[in-house]
């Protein structure tokens, strides 16, 4: 059983992890009784932490923003430096673990004193990021909103602009954010259409509905994004077999281009979307690696035809001079 001090730190970490918890949820995560949770909340308040509570069946506890930076002791400049560093790591992938940096930033921003939060907002307004041409940009504030929505366990009303610039409003149950290295994707269960992936830079607004939801039997978010980005917008797809283990195949065909599955220890089968057989054949030849086109026949024929054209071009004028 955890000591009282360890239990208080655990409770504090849970309260900082998301905006609101019911008493039963906290008791379940800490393996204690509801009475112990209420007693520990009272102790946190005695220590100076402002923990608000709401009555009712969906009421609960929440750590008021600006109460303190637990459990670290940071001065104003240190807190601002940590927040800026975490934000840049989350947006740029500097640490490799974007989700960890984003999670830490969410916790920190929730408890920043108002004066530090205001300075961080001023920094966000003044900063301009130089992006590669045609690369989408997402506001740091929106990225944090999406991450917070995934943590809250609450249905939201999503205002979204799709690839054809059509505006829609949907009720969705947020689940995860996925970073592909170039873009952020928001994975959520559309109440009307089932599981969907949304380009995070196309999300215009999130409006909480106040309705708690429980996600049961969710999909693998990374696999869902990989499948939708690789095959979703294309009218046809091809299946190839690479004589490479999965790790090597992922370097040849990125997960945003194809959907991979192992075919024994030394081979990988990949589904790749494309505009037409000839376009797919050109892409497959550009991989410059041995492969076998499993189907469809139209792509296999286009691949063979283009390979022969390249070979004929090399031998058209006879062998090179000695």
Phi then psi for residue 117, to 5 deg, are -60, -40
User: Do residues 284 and 240 lie in contact, with contact meaning Cβ atoms separated by under 8 Å?
Assistant: yes
Which pLDDT does position 133 carry in this prediction? 46
* Residue closest to 178 by CA, chosen among 188, 163, 164: 188
Lowest mean pLDDT among 41-50, 87-96, 254-263, 298-307: 87-96
Report the phi/psi class of residue 264: left, alpha or beta, with left for phi > 0 and alpha for psi in -120 to 50.
Answer: left
Which pLDDT does position 2 carry in this prediction? 56
pLDDT tens per residue, range 173-219: 999 988 776 678 899 999 999 999 998 889 999 999 988 888 888 89
* Residue closest to 153 by CA, chosen among 226, 58, 67, 38: 58
Q: From CA 257, how far away is CA 268, in angstroms rounded?
A: 14
77: its two tokens: 């400049």
User: Do residues 70 and 64 lie in contact, with contact meaning Cβ atoms separated by under 8 Å?
Assistant: no
* Residue closest to 225 by CA, chosen among 197, 267, 254: 197
pTM of the model: 0.49
Lowest mean pLDDT among 18-22, 118-122, 185-189, 288-292: 118-122
Which pLDDT does position 261 carry in this prediction? 86
Q: How confident is the model at residue 128 (pLDDT cuts 50, 70, 90)?
A: low
DSSP calls for 50-102: -EEE--STT--EEEPTTS---SS---HHHHHHHHHHHHHHHHH-TTS-HHHHH
Which stretch, 24-38, 80-94, 117-131, has highest mean pLDDT? 24-38
Which stretch, 34-43, 83-92, 103-112, has highest mean pLDDT? 34-43
Q: From CA 52, how far away is CA 30, in angstroms rounded?
A: 19
Residues forming a β-bridge with 21? 61
């Amino acid at each position: 059983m955890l000591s009282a001090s360890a239990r208080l730190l655990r409770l504090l970490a849970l309260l900082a992890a998301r905006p609101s918890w019911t008493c039963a949820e906290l008791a379940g995560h800490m393996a204690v009784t509801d009475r112990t949770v209420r007693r520990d909340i009272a102790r946190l308040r005695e220590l100076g932490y402002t923990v608000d509570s709401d009555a009712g069946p969906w009421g609960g506890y929440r750590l008021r923003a600006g109460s303190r930076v637990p459990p670290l002791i940071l001065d104003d400049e240190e807190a601002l430096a940590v927040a800026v560093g975490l934000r840049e790591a989350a947006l740029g992938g500097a640490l490799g673990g974007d989700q960890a940096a984003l999670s830490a930033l969410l916790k920190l921003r929730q408890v920043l004193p108002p004066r530090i939060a205001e300075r961080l907002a001023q920094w966000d307004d003044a900063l301009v990021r130089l992006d590669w041409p045609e690369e989408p940009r997402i506001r740091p504030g929106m990225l944090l909103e999406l991450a917070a929505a995934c943590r809250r366990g609450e249905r939201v009303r999503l205002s979204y602009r799709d690839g054809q610039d059509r505006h829609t409003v949907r009720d969705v149950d947020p689940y995860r954010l996925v970073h592909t290295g170039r873009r952020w994707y928001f994975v959520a269960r559309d109440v009307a259409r089932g599981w969907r992936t949304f380009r995070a830079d196309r999300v215009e607004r999130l409006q909480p509905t106040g309705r708690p939801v429980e996600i049961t039997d969710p999909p693998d978010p990374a696999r869902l994004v990989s499948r939708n980005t690789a095959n979703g917008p294309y009218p046809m797809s091809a299946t190839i077999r690479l004589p490479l283990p999965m790790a090597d195949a992922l370097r040849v065909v990125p997960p945003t281009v194809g959907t991979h599955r192992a075919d024994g220890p030394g081979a990988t089968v990949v589904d790749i979307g494309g505009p037409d057989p000839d376009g797919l054949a050109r892409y497959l030849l550009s991989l410059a690696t041995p492969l076998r086109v499993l189907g469809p026949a139209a792509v296999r024929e286009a691949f063979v035809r283009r390979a022969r054209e390249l070979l004929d071009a090399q031998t058209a004028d006879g062998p090179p001079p000695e």
